[in-house]
Structures are given as C-alpha cells and as structure tokens.
Structure 1
C-alpha cells in the first residue's frame, strides 16, 4: 500500500479505516501484475465538495453535505501502473489473468459490502465506492464526535 493511500485511509471515518485497508491489500494481492490500487480520494470537506460541484465540466451532482465522501464513508480509486502512471481503464487486464483489474477490485469491494458507482443508473461514477446502507440525508442529521466524524 502506497503512502498516498495510507494517508487518505487515515482521514476516513474511524469505523471503516481498517476495512478499507483490508480491501486495498486484498485488491493489490489480486492484481499480481503491473497495477496496484490507490485511494485517489476519500474524506472530502464541505468546502472541497462545493468546489467540485461548481467545477466545469461537471464532475459531481452532489452539493456540500450530499456526498458520502463528506462523512468519510466513500472512496474513489485509481490503478497505478508500473508505480507511476494513473489509469481509470476499467477493461485493461494488466496481470493477464483474463479478468479486468478494475473488475477484480469491484468484486472485492462488493464482497465487503460496498456499493459501486459504476452500478448507478443515471450518473455512472466508475472510481467511486461507498459503504452500503448510508444515505447523506440521514448522515447530515447525526451528531459529531470530537474529531468531527458523525456518530454512527
């Protein structure tokens, strides 16, 4: 697991940090070739969400508070090829095992109970995974702990 991934996991909601680290390690073990998975984005502040929402071209439909990222319960991934090149290619099989590397990661996330943005009907978000069962409409109402994370 690379340093950017470790740093981004450390900012996720405390209830999912260990699980996300396990998922990353399992993905990287499955990707026996040139690709390794990196967490490209995890926790996002409301200010960061507002900037993304206002960005052109449009990259998100979620305003501040409306993204599961704002609660540390979502991640976006990228594959790092040969330790240097970022890839969001969902079809490439870098390890030549007859399964697209991206799909290997999707399967592992789903095994742990995470929803994949690639399954969404309207706005497909291929790099996005979020912990199943959480809705921003409920999370925004919850109290926060001393570190600022919602109390689940």
Structure 2
C-alpha cells in the first residue's frame, strides 16, 4: 500500500504481539517438522507459522534453507524433477484355461501404466498420457484435499 492509499483502503489484518518478545531457539528437528507441516497443503504456510508463533518470513527462510541443503547434498539442479518412493505390489494372476471369446468393443483401450492413490482417490494414468494433463489432475487433487 502506498502513502497515497493511507486511510482510503481498509486494513486487512492486524497482528498484536504480547509479551516480552524474547528470542526462541528452535532445534533442527522442530524446524524440519514445522517446514514439513507447511508443505502438507492442509492450511497455508502463513497459518502454520502463526500457529507456531513464527513470522511467515522466518518460515519461508527455513523452507528456502532446507531446500538449498537438500540440493547441495544431492548435487541436483533446481529444474530437476523430484521423485517420491513408489510401492509396487505384485499382482496375483490366476491361471484359467483359455477359452475362445469374442473381442469386446473395449479392445484397444489403454491399460493404466501408473496408478496413484491420493487421500482415498485413485487415479489411473494410461501409457502416453499428456504430462500437462497429468499435472493438472494431480494439482486438482491436491487442491481438493
């Protein structure tokens, strides 16, 4: 807000700090837990910071430093994709005697190559699916969580 706007626009938020305002010393484990919580997507990073008595700037500084530490350890570049662990469960295939059957109209449908489960929602991604479409679906699922 510029000086010209002073008094003409309503105040959006006022923070009132009570107490002596002493410096707190956070352990690395506490910082990592708060940063992980801020990435959960359940609430905004600023809300997480406020709940823990931090300024949002302090939380974003912790997030940046932890990202930089992670990049330095793995020698990765910021544009490289990050991967999550995948759990592969073997499928149980029952052997049945082969019988001749008519080809159904579903012949030629793509078999899912990847299956994601996010908060109880299952998404099957076929081989050759467009990366932008997949990213949009995953973003929509994150937003609905």
Shorter-chain TM-score category? Answer: under 0.3
Q: TM-score, normalised by structure 1?
A: 0.22
The structure that has the greater radius of gyration is: 2
- Larger fraction in strand: 1
Q: Which has the higher contact order (CA 8 A, sep 6+)?
A: 1
Q: TM-score, normalised by structure 2?
A: 0.23
